[in-house]
């Protein structure tokens, strides 16, 4: 293992307008080592990657590559200097219209000294060299759309390696790969390590981390919250540093659930995932927590009829429940505040009251005609109930702050009584005051229904829920009553302790 860091970042700062995203990041990468970067959504991972790969320029701080100052102004400059990034979206790394050989040598077709004519034989010859060096077994004449995701990923990485980089950045490379495909990627990464490449590996998957990491760096709110390099690596500590916990949390008055409202048995939501059961009682708020990509949204969508479970049965109020569409779920009294409101929630052309009444227009309408006076009265009541800050119920959504927009999304589903009320990442992009308001409203209105929230941030679960369930690898691996809970066990479950044997 290299003693001297090949790539060193010190006190890196980056702001967008008045918002500071990176507040002094320090990071070292060593030759022949995999450094894993962990961080929750919004921690600043992507910004860091973009600064290093030359997409953004830094505001302050220094980057050193091989003892020389490194400050790329464009991605091409970063690549020439020897820092190559393979971005999260696999299809950004390959050009679908060209075959494998051309993709592998694509970067040689541009720039000074590139031949004017396209010579397929030479391309094939150079591509073969690249492929052989990487141990790539993909047919060079194959078309990209015919390849599996894993093969495309391999091509993208091989293409990146054609530059002989000193530093390779992999941004969530396994997020769309199966575990068998991921194993092929890991073998490739092992080969790269032997060649002395310093690798920065960004991921949420604990199984990746356990398999690959030589060091773990946890990023939180734009600063490094912890570096872990002593063997054996302290995975729980890394997760804890990444999720962070503040002292003096507002403790909730924990209540136990009443009669069972929702029950699922033998539910399986992903190939090769362990089936699990889930029971939710009336009046309780249950939080499902776990890292990004462990299946929280998949579970929410299964319960809401967006996707069908691979196996298992569900029951609502002891009656079989198998929604084939969101409409059926809504009619049964199962509501979902979807995550990422801009993508899945807000109708940008609609004002506040039109957004609010979207799911229940039928009830507000008479002979198909929407009763606007009635609609606006409902909206005004919700605005008052949730403390939404706006001028009138006819304001554009774009004029609201993130927190108020989220309140409108929650209010959309609160004008009717739910049996099961689900919220997926309801506190994402929400300021602390609005977050408290929403959590308080959820708890105050929890009687008579089951409430289920899906959150990555542990704090949010601890502040809101009566009961906390932990998801990992598309199944539920732990359950805790939110009173005097065993934090060590909880973090261990989030960090995938059960994977130890497997890894």
Partner 1 sequence: MSMRELAVRYGFLVLLVALVAYFAIAADGFASPQSAVFIFQSVAITGVLALGVTATLVVGGFDLSIGSVATTAMMAAAYVMVILEQNAFVAVIACLLIGIIVGLINGFLIVYMRVPDLLATLGMMFLLVGLQRIPTEGRSIATGMTMPDGSVAEGTFSAAFLALGRHRFDFFIQNLIPVSVVVLLVLAVAIWFFLEYTRFGRMMYAVGSNERAAQLAGAPVKAYKIWAYVISGIFASIGGILLAARLGRGDIASGNNLLLDSVAAALIGFAVLGAAKPNAFGTAVGALFVGILLQGLTMMNAPYYTQDFVKGIVLVVALVFTFALSNAGRR
Binding site for partner 1 (CB under 8 A): 304, 306, 325-327, 329-331, 336, 338, 343-350, 354, 358-359, 361-362, 364-365, 368-370, 398, 412
Helix, strand, or coil here: 418? coil
Going by C-beta distance under 8 Å and a sequence separation of 6 or more, which residues neighbour residue 300? Answer: 336, 338, 339, 422, 424, 452, 454
Task: Kindly state the smallest distance separating residue 360's Cβ from partner 1, in Å.
Answer: 9
Q: Please identify, using beta-carbon distances, which residue of 316 and 494 lies nearer to partner 1.
A: 316
Closest CB to partner 1 among residues 239, 379? 379
Phi, psi of 241 (to 5 degrees): -65, -35
How far is 8 from 83, CA to CA, in rounded Å? 12
Structure tokens at 465: 């829920």
CA distance 70 to 366: 67
* Eight-state DSSP code of residue 430: -
d(CA 409, CA 389): 14
* Cα separation, 402 vs 396, whole angstroms: 13
Q: Is the dihedral of CA 230, 236, 238, 241 positive or negative?
A: negative
Name 170's bridge partners. Answer: 86, 201
Q: What are phi and psi of 457, to 5 degrees?
A: -75, 125
Say if CB 389 and CB 395 are below 8 A apart: no
CB of 470 to partner 1, least distance (A): 26
Asked if 334 and 420 touch (Cβ cutoff 8 Å), the reply is yes
Comparison of 109 and 342: residue with beta carbon closer to partner 1: 342
Q: Which is nearer to partner 1, 271 or 349 (CB)?
A: 349
Could you tell me the smallest distance in angstroms from the CB atom of residue 371 to partner 1?
Answer: 10
Closest separation in Å from C-beta 366 to partner 1: 10
Q: Quote the least distance from Cβ 296 to partner 1, whole Å.
A: 16
C-beta of 396: minimal distance to partner 1 in Å?
A: 8
Nearer to partner 1, 271 or 343 (CB): 343
Asked if residues 174 and 292 have their Cβ atoms less than 8 Å apart, the reply is: no
Shortest separation between residue 377's beta carbon and partner 1, angstroms: 17
Short-list 182, 185, 181, 105, CA closest to 140: 105
Q: Which of 175, 113, 117 is nearest to 150 (CA)?
A: 175
Q: Would you say 235 or 413 has its CB closer to partner 1?
A: 413
Between CA 350 and CA 372 the distance in angstroms is 14
**C-beta closer to partner 1: residue 35 or 357:** 357
DSSP string, 44-93: SHHHHHHHHTTSS--SEEEEEETTEE---SSHHHHHHHTEEEE-SSGGGS
State the minimum distance, in angstroms, from the CB of residue 291 to partner 1: 24
Q: DSSP letter string over 435-500?
A: HHHHHHHHHHT-TTSEEEEEESSHHHHHHH-SEEEEEETTEEEEEEESSS--HHHHHHHHTTGGGT
Minimum separation from the CB atom of position 368 to partner 1 (A)? 5
Q: Give me the least distance between CB of 426 and partner 1, in Å please.
A: 14
Nearer to partner 1, 10 or 97 (CB): 97
Of 70 and 413, CB closest to partner 1: 413
CB closer to partner 1 out of 341 and 474? 341
């Amino acid at each position: 293992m290299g003693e001297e860091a090949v790539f060193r970042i010190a006190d890196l700062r980056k702001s967008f307008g008045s918002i500071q995203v990176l507040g002094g990041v320090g990071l070292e990468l060593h030759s022949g080592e995999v450094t894993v970067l962990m961080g929750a959504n919004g921690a600043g991972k992507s910004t860091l990657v973009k600064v290093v790969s030359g997409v953004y320029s830094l505001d302050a701080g220094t980057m050193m590559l091989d003892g020389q100052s490194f400050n790329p102004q464009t991605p091409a400059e970063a690549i020439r200097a020897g820092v190559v990034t393979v971005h999260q979206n696999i299809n950004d790394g390959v050009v679908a219209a060209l075959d494998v050989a051309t993709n592998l040598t694509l970067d040689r077709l541009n720039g000074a000294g590139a031949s004017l004519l396209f010579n397929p034989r030479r391309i094939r010859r150079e591509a073969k060299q690249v492929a052989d060096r990487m141990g790539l077994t993909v047919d060079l004449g194959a078309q990209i759309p015919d390849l599996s995701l894993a093969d495309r990923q391999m091509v993208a990485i091989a293409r990146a390696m054609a530059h002989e980089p000193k530093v390779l950045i992999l941004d969530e490379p396994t997020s769309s790969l199966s575990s068998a495909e991921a194993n092929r990627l890991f073998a490739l990464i092992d080969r790269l390590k032997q060649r002395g490449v310093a690798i920065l590996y960004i991921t949420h998957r604990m199984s990746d981390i356990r398999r690959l990491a030589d060091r773990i760096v946890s990023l939180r709110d734009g600063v490094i919250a912890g570096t872990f390099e002593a063997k054996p690596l302290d995975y729980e500590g890394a997760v804890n540093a990444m999720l962070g916990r503040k002292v003096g949390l507002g403790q909730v008055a924990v209540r136990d659930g009443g009669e069972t409202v929702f029950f699922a048995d033998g539910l399986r939501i992903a190939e090769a995932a362990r089936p699990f059961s889930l029971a939710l009682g009336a009046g309780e708020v249950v939080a499902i927590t776990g890292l990004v990509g462990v299946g929280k949204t998949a579970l929410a969508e299964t319960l809401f009829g967006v996707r069908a479970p691979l196996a298992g049965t569900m029951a609502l109020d002891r009656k079989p429940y198998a929604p084939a569409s969101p409409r059926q779920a809504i009619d049964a009294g199962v509501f979902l505040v979807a995550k990422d409101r801009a993508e899945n929630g807000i109708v940008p052309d609609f004002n506040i009251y039109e957004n609010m009444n979207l799911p229940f227009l039928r009830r507000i309408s008479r002979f198909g005609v929407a009763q606007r006076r009635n609609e606006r009265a409902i909206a005004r009541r919700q605005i008052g109930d949730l403390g939404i800050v706006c001028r009138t119920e006819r304001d554009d959504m774009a004029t609201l702050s993130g927190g108020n927009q989220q309140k409108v999304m929650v209010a959309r589903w609160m004008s009717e009584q739910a049996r099961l009320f689900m919220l997926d990442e309801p506190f994402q992009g929400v300021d602390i005051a609005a977050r408290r308001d929403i959590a308080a409203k959820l708890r105050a209105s929890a009687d008579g229904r089951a409430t289920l929230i899906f959150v990555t941030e542990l704090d949010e679960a601890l502040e809101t829920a009566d009961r906390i369930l932990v998801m990992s690898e598309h199944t539920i691996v732990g359950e805790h009553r939110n009173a005097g809970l065993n934090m060590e066990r909880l973090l261990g479950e989030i960090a995938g302790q059960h994977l130890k044997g497997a890894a």
